[in-house]
Amino acid sequence: MKKSFAFILIGFVALTAAAQKADITLEDIWRDYKFYSRSIGGLRSMNDGIHYTSLDRDGNAVSLVKHSYTDAQKAEKLVDGNELKYNDKPIAIGDYSFSADEKKLLIVTEEESIYRYSSKAVYYVYDLSGKKLEKLHDGDKQMYATFSPQAGQVAFVKENNMFYKDLESGNTVQITTDGEKNKIINGASDWVYEEELELVQAFDWSPDGKKIAFFRFDESQVKEWLMKMYGDLYPEEVRFKYPKAGEENSKVDVFIYHLDNKKLVKANIPDAYEYISRINWTNDSEKLALQTLNRHQNSLQIYLADVTTGESQSIYKEDNEKYIDVPTTEFLATKDQFLITSEKDGFNHIYLYDITGKLINQVTKGNWDVTDFYGVDEKTGLVYYQSAEVSPMQRHVYSIKLNGSGKKQLSTKSGHNDATFSSTFKYFINYNTDANSPHFITLKDNAGKEKRVLVDNADLRKRMDEVNISKKEFLTVKVNGEELNAWMIKPKGFDPAKKYPLFMFVYGGPGSQTVEDSWGSFNYFWFQHLAGLGYMVVSVDNRGTGARGEAFKKVTYKQLGKYETEDQIAAAKYFATLPYIDGSRIGIFGWSYGGYMSSLCLTKGADVFKTAIAVAPVTNWRYYDNIYTERYMQTPQENADGYDTNSPINHVEKMKGKYLLVHGMADDNVHFQNATEMTNALINANKQYEMFFYPNKNHGIYGGNARLHLYYLMTNFIKENL
């Protein structure tokens, strides 16, 4: 009798505790940021391989702190952010970099974003021993200030020209003089290279510190895009060069500047090319490797250029019947060899070549993709990388010998693992998350043995325990002859005897994934908020997405949107057959490529989807940039039908459901034009829709109250229409 009473009491207490859990609010997510996952800011490994530095919050400032990999108690403040001043003015550390001898720092302050990755800033040189702070350069802000390997000079870009400053004499040398806005760029990249090739800093010091190789972009023939920024009596016009599909690109060259004689040498590439996607110095500083792609991006070559004469020869060539993603390349510092990633065997793997282009061996093999490359310890011959070998939905860290033997998995926790290695590769910091858990950051040795926990996010985990959360569950959806990976978040108090409306989240673009066993950040909590309102939330990775090999990813070639939409529609139909899903109430949401997909689903899948939200969608690939679009579609001149057949603009007459179209008016990436042309088509077809635009907001629609406002807008739309 006592046992039974105790059991009932425990059950009652548990139910009461569950009932007292709070619902997640939009203010929790987008105003108060209660669910922010802590990480480690500004992490750098020091030369000795036994210390690292980080930027740590220190009262009202940020300080630079030196830590021991092995001893948690050993920490030294290298720069006290509370005392850092220039001409009695406090200096806030935004970022930093060490000189090669670690005697000086470049401190980044007043950083000003330009596009997705690019920025300009005010830089200071800080002498660590004398605690002396000097401004790098007066006047306009600079870009990408970088120490020479010998620490005596700093190269930077200002107003589209290359400079370097000699720190001993204080003299600044201007390397180029032809830089001009919207015409010539030296040392930095144009908009499309930055966005699609992820080339941002477009210069590099040679290992001997005697030369600087840099890109020169001639974008004078590229057409301009105009955006308006509102706020004053008359709006400000922002003009920049943006090459749309089928349009003219920048003409790109690479030059080598010799500091000793101030000579500029152009790297002469003997064959026709459209893009120079990467440069790499070889180990002797006398040869520069240049990686090129043709316009279709299905033929890649690497040339070796003599830095004195500029003459070059091809050492590597790879062709593909569809396209080639820009590979990772690393030239070894002690040998005439290089590593490169390639999908040539059907999966992304690492290969080792000698400097003449002769294949030595394939380092990694298997029916799985290498997803990141961390580096090679040339003393031990061990390569460190990340892959999806365990599952396309997971990531793990591995080591393997250059000869392809001795592979070892170094990460042990399931989910998504990433790594930052020490300079000597003796230690690494392991960042682990899973679908329902924030960052758990540990220090490990290079055998994978955990030494200590650095960040456990215990406070966030506690806050998560105090609110209603439905675990994200993984499943497989078999449609159109493929088993597609998916996840599901069930409504609060899920009852399988009830029927729930279904809300789908999609991205779906080439090589992307939304279905990973990894932390979903703020959207995860928005989906939890929707689950608390009684919605079933799911996401499906359609054909064309990543980590499942080349064939699965490239099936969408020349017809973006076709197979992806077919899979999303088929998945929605499958979910509608489940006894707890109300098939008459299915909605879909996506942003960017996902907005393109949600728009296609509401039109092509008009009988399946009741509502769709499209944020910053591409509505016709003719309006998007040429590097991304032509990689997957060729040009509109060559593949007009591929562009038009799967444009939602051309299917609006089929639309039956409720449509919310959202766009930032200062979106430099997916232009507001996409929204206006979609609305024109809807008006011409006499289709009613809802639209909301955000003045002065870019592709991310953030800043001020914008994100909270946007998620209120979308949540209310879902509540009213689904």
List the one residue out of 491, 486, 495 whose CA is nearest residue 528. Answer: 491
Rounded to whole angstroms, the Cα distance separating 348 from 343 reads 4
Which residue spans within 446-521 are E strands per DSSP?
Answer: 450-455, 472-479, 482-489, 500-506
Contact in structure between 156 and 137 (CB atoms under 8 Å): yes
For 405, the token pair is 């033997």
In sequence order, what are the residues at sequence separation of 6 or more whose Cβ sits closer than 8 angstroms to the Cβ of residue 429? 40, 43, 52, 419, 420, 441, 442, 443, 444, 454
Closest CA to 251 of 214, 276, 268: 276
Q: How far is CA 621 from the centre of its chain?
A: 21
294-323 core/surface letters (b: 16 or more CB in 10 A; e: else): bbbbbbbbbbbbbbeebebeebbebebebb
| Residues catalogued as catalytic | 592, 667, 699
Q: What kind and span of H or E run contains 717?
A: helix 706-721
The whole-angstrom separation of Cα 497 and Cα 532 is 18
- Six-digit token string for 327: 């590979």
Q: Which two tokens stand for residue 569?
A: 């529609």
Sequence-distant (6+) residues with CB within 8 A of 284 are: 207
Note whether 276 and 234 are within 8 A (CB).
no
Q: Which of 246, 404, 407, 255 is nearest to 339 (CA)?
A: 404
Q: How far is CA 552 from the centre of its chain?
A: 21
Cα–Cα distance, 162 to 174 (Å, whole number): 6
Select from 499, 501, 512, 504 the least CA-distant residue to 488.
Answer: 504
Q: SS3 of 646, please?
A: coil
- φ and ψ of 653, to 5 deg: -65, -20
Structure-block tokens of residue 121: 């800033």
Q: Could you tell me what percentage of the chain is helix, strand and coil, using 3-state DSSP and rounding each to the nearest 5?
A: 20, 40, 45
Burial (CB count within 10 angstroms: exposed 0-12, middle 13-18, buried 19+), residue 170: exposed
Three-state SS annotation for 113-144: ECCCCCEEEEEEEEECCCCEEEECCCCCCEEE
Alpha helix locations (H) across 318-468? 458-465
Question: DSSP letters of 316-360?
Answer: EEEE-SS--PPPPEEE-SSSSEEEEEE-TTSS-EEEEEETTS-EE
Residue 671's nearest CA partner among 636, 603, 706, 621 is: 621
Q: Which positions ≥6 away from 591 have C-beta within 8 Å?
A: 507, 615, 616
Identity (one letter) of the amino acid at 1? M
Question: Beta-carbon neighbour count of residue 11 at 10 Å?
Answer: 10
CA distance 112 to 593: 27
Neighbour-count burial of 528, counting CB atoms closer than 10 A to its CB (0-12 exposed, 13-18 middle, 19+ buried): buried
DSSP H or E segment with residue 52: strand 51-58
> Considering only CA atoms, which of 89, 110, 98 is closest in space to residue 43?
98
Q: What is the DSSP letter of 423?
A: T
Q: Determine which helix (DSSP H) or strand (DSSP E) holds 257, and give its type and residue range.
A: strand 251-258
